[in-house]
């Protein structure tokens, strides 16, 4: 009888544990929907926006960005101050002393934690998406290449290492001797020597991929693969309650495809300044359901609004703005950002959607190789052809009628006003900018003359222009609009090609296209985050564009100590790209579409970099803790 009861008792206990573990927790102080489900919490492997956003909640780097300043300046985080050498190549970071930064388990954050974490990103074993950022450190590229070569010949007669352990021991020694990083735990300093002067290095140091992980924990999940010699890392360390972090919050729950929950990290050095003590991120995939979740009060903020009808919502807000045009003009004259302006307008649901200029550009690529993959002559090898086609894209029509998201028309690669001290070129004239029929006719004639000079006087005999896009995302409607422009204004035959995203990306990388859509969000506050895309041989130079003059300008700018002179060189580089060579035709600058009630939610940044720091968000007149005096309501 007792034996029969044992399975029943065990089953009852299992059910009880399951029910208790799934018992609803108290509502979080703040709830938001991320752009998508988190794919990884391994900092050195992050690349998606939703991962980086949560990474900033859980971890903290040497510095972080002041997201409410115009220049997005670096401000202290783990490091309370830093010193830069006269030649601009050496950065020494001094860790906080009072209070000292700690991990969520109470252990001190040490400089060697950063050295360990940065080494992880430099190892080819981990295939970090942003490993190139670490190649700015003196010796890092040599170390990366050495490890890559040794892994390639591991297990062959040419390899001097008879085991993965022997190779790893040499890897650790090489890192110490080759990579110019000095982590002094006793002095609490972290020193980095760069390959050259990099004026935007502090910006990079505030990027989440450069935050530290907790070595004693991660090392428990590392295993050397005896067959390949590679260091493998199992992912269990990123799950609660195992995860140890050093940022404003700690992860207390992560249920795949259901939700994530965070509580204030009691060991974070500035925890008293937190105005929200708990955060939840429900997993809601359907864009319509996301909006409904906000409208019913289930969440406080949508990090990106994506339903097809969002253009209609923005039109409604434009109507609301027209009703209060005089007051808005007065508030703008005071220098207030758009969220503060909304906050001072009468309550109205129409003002809950917000289009914010982003640090990103959508463009149309031209393949610049002499021949297409099938061996045909490529007409877009000629810059005159590229200029003609670029001028005949009605950008205003695409932005206003196709996208309908309040995205500014782009005449440059770099968004104007996004980088202090930098002025993008005016770019080529565009058919959508012409205000009279006469002006439009003159521009069309100019474009056709360029084609005639390039050897195409009869445009009806121009090779069929192929426009390539990936499926989804509305790119097909943009391609259709461009195709219509080129047929109407240039009289050329066109065709459209749609492919699944993986196939499309492979085609881009292999220049298997004639013209194709493209886009980019800048990673740091410097023109090179966009301009380097067109360097000869750059991995993101999908156009296969090459100009020694441009490369030389970028090289000279990298060695230029005078910040003003450097910006002028980079401005000239972009002028060549946008007005002469035109390997791509910029169409519009991206906008990020948020949803929140500005009368209720504060701490959201309107900066074009689109970086939000959740620990700065708060509920206005809510029940969350009183802010510390230093925590200013922005």
pLDDT in tens, 282-341: 999 999 999 999 999 999 999 999 998 999 999 999 999 999 999 999 999 999 999 999
CA dihedral 534, 535, 537, 538 (to 10 degrees): -70
Helix (H) or strand (E) holding 443: helix 437-453
**CA dist 195 → 133, 227, 406, 503, 523 (Å):** 12, 34, 41, 36, 19
Residue 265's SS3 state is coil
Q: What is the sign, positive or negative, of the torsion defined by CA atoms of 290, 291, 294, 298? A: negative
pLDDT in tens, 261-290: 999 999 999 999 999 999 999 999 999 999
**CA dist 210 → 61, 123, 358, 451, 490 (Å):** 7, 14, 23, 48, 49
- The residues of the chain scoring below 50 in pLDDT are 1-21, 623-634
What are residue 353's DSSP bridge partners?
Answer: 595
- Are 119 and 155 in contact by the 8 Å Cβ rule? The answer is no
Looking up tokens 């999940």 gives: 221
Domains of the chain: 30-255 (3.90.76.10), 357-591 (3.10.105.10)
Q: Return the pLDDT at 631.
A: 33
Q: Return the pLDDT at 23.
A: 59
d(CA 362, CA 586): 6
Q: Measuring CA to CA, which residue among 249, 275, 262 is closest to residue 602?
A: 275
Give the count of beta carbons closer than 10 Å to the beta carbon of residue 536: 13
Q: Return the pLDDT at 622.
A: 54
- Are 154 and 163 in contact by the 8 Å Cβ rule? The answer is no
């Amino acid at each position: 009888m007792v034996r029969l009861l044992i399975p029943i008792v065990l089953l009852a206990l299992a059910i009880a544990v399951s029910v208790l573990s799934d018992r609803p927790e108290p509502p979080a102080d703040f709830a938001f929907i991320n752009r998508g489900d988190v794919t990884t919490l391994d900092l050195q492997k992050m690349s998606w926006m939703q991962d980086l956003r949560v990474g900033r909640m859980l971890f903290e780097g040497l510095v972080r960005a002041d997201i409410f300043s115009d220049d997005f300046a670096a401000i202290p985080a783990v490091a309370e101050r830093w010193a830069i050498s006269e030649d601009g190549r050496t950065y020494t970071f001094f860790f906080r002393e009072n209070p000292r930064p700690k991990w969520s388990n109470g252990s001190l954050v040490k400089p060697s934690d950063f050295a360990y974490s940065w080494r992880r990103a430099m190892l080819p074993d981990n295939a970090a998406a942003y490993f190139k950022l670490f190649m700015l450190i003196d010796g890092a590229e040599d170390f990366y290449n050495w490890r890559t070569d040794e892994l390639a010949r591991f297990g062959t007669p040419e390899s001097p290492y008879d085991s993965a352990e022997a190779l790893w021991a040499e890897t650790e020694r090489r890192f110490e001797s080759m990579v110019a990083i000095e982590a002094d735990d006793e002095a609490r300093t972290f020193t980095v020597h760069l390959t050259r002067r990099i004026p935007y290095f502090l910006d990079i140091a505030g990027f989440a991929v450069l935050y530290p992980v907790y070595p004693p924990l991660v090392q428990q999940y590392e295993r050397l693969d005896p067959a390949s010699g590679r260091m493998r890392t199992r992912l269990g360390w990123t799950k609660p309650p195992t995860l140890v972090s050093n940022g404003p919050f700690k992860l207390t729950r992560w249920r795949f495809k259901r939700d994530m929950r965070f509580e204030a990290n009691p060991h974070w050095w500035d925890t008293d300044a937190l105005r929200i003590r708990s955060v939840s991120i429900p997993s809601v995939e359907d864009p319509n359901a996301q909006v409904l979740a906000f409208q019913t009060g289930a969440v406080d903020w949508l990090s990106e609004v994506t339903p097809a009808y969002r253009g209609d919502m923005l039109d409604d807000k434009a109507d609301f703005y027209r009703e209060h045009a005089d007051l808005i003009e007065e508030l703008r004259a005071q220098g207030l950002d758009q969220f503060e302006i909304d906050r001072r307008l009468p309550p109205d649901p129409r003002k809950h959607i917000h289009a914010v200029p982003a640090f990103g550009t959508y463009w149309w690529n031209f393949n610049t190789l002499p021949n297409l993959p099938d061996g045909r002559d490529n007409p877009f090898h000629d810059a005159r052809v590229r200029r003609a086609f670029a001028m005949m894209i009605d950008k205003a029509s695409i932005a206003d009628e196709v996208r309908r998201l309040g995205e500014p028309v782009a005449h440059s690669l770099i968004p104007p006003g996004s980088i202090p001290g930098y002025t993008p070129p005016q770019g080529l004239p565009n058919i959508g900018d012409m205000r009279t029929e006469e002006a439009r006719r003159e521009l069309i004639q100019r474009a056709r003359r360029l084609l005639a000079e390039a050897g195409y006087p009869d445009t009806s005999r121009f090779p069929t222009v192929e426009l390539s896009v990936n499926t989804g995302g509305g790119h097909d409607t943009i391609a259709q609009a461009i195709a219509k422009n080129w047929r109407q204004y240039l009289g050329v035959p066109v065709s459209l090609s749609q492919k699944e995203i993986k196939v499309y990306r492979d085609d881009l990388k292999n220049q298997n296209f004639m013209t194709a859509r493209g886009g980019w969000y800048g990673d740091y506050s410097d023109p090179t985050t966009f301009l380097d895309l067109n360097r000869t041989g750059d991995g993101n130079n999908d156009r296969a564009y090459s100009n020694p003059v441009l490369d030389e300008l970028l090289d000279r700018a990298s060695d230029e100590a005078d910040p003003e002179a450097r910006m002028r060189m980079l401005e000239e580089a972009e002028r060549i790209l946008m007005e002469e060579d035109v390997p791509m035709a910029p169409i519009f600058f991206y906008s990020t579409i948020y949803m929140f009630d500005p009368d209720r939610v504060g701490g959201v940044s309107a900066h074009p970099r689109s970086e939000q720091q959740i620990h700065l968000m708060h509920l206005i007149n809510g029940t969350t803790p009183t802010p510390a005096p230093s925590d200013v309501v922005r």
